[in-house]
């Protein structure tokens, strides 16, 4: 793979959804492609109602920490059982020197986070997902994003994009839980691959992006776009890379 770097002031932030099970669904409904996760559907319903995750998940070998609702298994397959709340008062510096301010959630929706830079505010679902003008979205979208974040590595969810004419199905895959290195030490992340598929079903027409979400804070730490070359190689373009993250009251 070839990587180029061009820092951008376009942030891609997090989605706040939940998971349902099953490999097929009607348009607009989320789908989970990993087998054997009926329990995740229970967890999704609990999250939708504001409840705690089922104790059975902890009984399956998950260790919990007291910070930010963070849950990490010994094999690092499941990094999160719940999406962290929107950061309020934190700041970050990107590789190009741009300062990012995290200003909590919008009053009407705790899952939509306000992030600002250069004097302008932007709204993202769960802190990373959307174009910066996120409003309500769809329940299926929220379920799919949260499902990929809070399910084991290898989980793939999907939903129908109702806001764009070109794009139809969107797939969200939990790729890994890698560590990213920073000056103040490493941070565990959830790595997602999000693919927007052509609404007319043309396989060669798609938009692919990789997202690295901080497990502790839910902040988007890195984003890359993926371009498929005629040779079969992939060109990776880094459009968002946090160099330093300063949490509130730290």
Query: How many Å apart are CA 240 and CA 230, to the nearest integer?
Result: 25
Residue partners of 114: CB distance under 8 A and separation at least 6: 86, 102, 103, 104, 105, 106, 121, 122, 123
Are the C-beta atoms of 18 and 48 separated by less than 8 Å? yes
Are the C-beta atoms of 124 and 137 separated by less than 8 Å? no
Q: Tell me the Cα Rg of the chain.
A: 17
Of 169, 125, 124, the closest CA to residue 25 belongs to 169
pTM of the model as a whole = 0.70
Of 135, 31, 121, 47, the closest CA to residue 84 belongs to 47
- Give 193-229 as a 3 state SS string: EEEEEECCCCCCCEEEEEEEEECCCCCEEEEEEEEEC
Model pLDDT, residue 250: 67
Backbone angles phi and psi of 24, in degrees to 5:
-135, 165
Q: 100-116 in b/e burial notation, b at 16+ Cβ within 10 A?
A: bbbbbbbeebebbbbbe
Of 125, 123, 128, the closest CA to residue 138 belongs to 125
Model pLDDT, residue 80: 87
Are the C-beta atoms of 163 and 196 separated by less than 8 Å? no
Query: How many Å apart are CA 137 and CA 42, to the nearest integer?
Result: 23
Model pLDDT, residue 104: 97
Could you give the 3-state DSSP secondary structure of residue 2? strand
Query: Per-10-residue mean pLDDT for the chain, 250 residues long?
Result: 37 35 39 39 36 30 32 57 94 96 96 96 94 88 95 95 82 96 92 92 89 96 91 91 91
């Amino acid at each position: 793979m070839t990587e180029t770097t061009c820092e951008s002031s376009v942030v891609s932030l997090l989605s706040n959804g939940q998971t349902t099970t099953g490999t097929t669904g009607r348009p607009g409904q989320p789908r989970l492609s990993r087998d054997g996760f009926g329990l995740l559907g229970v967890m999704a319903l609990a999250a939708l109602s504001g409840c705690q995750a089922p104790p059975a998940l902890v009984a399956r070998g998950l260790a919990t920490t007291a910070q930010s609702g963070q849950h990490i298994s010994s094999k690092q397959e499941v990094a999160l059982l719940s999406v962290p709340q929107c950061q309020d008062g934190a700041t970050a510096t990107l590789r190009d020197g741009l300062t990012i301010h995290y200003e909590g959630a919008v009053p009407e929706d705790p899952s939509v986070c306000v992030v600002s830079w250069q004097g302008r505010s932007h709204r993202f679902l769960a802190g990373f997902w959307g174009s910066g003008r996120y409003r309500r979205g769809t329940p299926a979208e929220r379920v799919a994003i949260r499902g990929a974040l809070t399910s084991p590595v290898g989980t793939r969810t999907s939903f129908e994009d109702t806001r764009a004419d070109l794009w139809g199905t969107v797939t969200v895959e939990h790729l890994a839980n890698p560590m990213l290195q920073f000056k103040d030490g490493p941070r565990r992340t959830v790595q997602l691959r999000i693919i927007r598929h052509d609404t007319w079903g043309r396989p060669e027409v798609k938009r692919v992006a990789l997202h690295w979400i901080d497990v502790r804070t839910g902040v988007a730490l890195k984003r890359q776009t993926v371009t498929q070359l005629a040779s079969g190689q992939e060109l990776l373009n880094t459009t968002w890379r946090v160099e330093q993250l300063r949490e509130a009251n730290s």
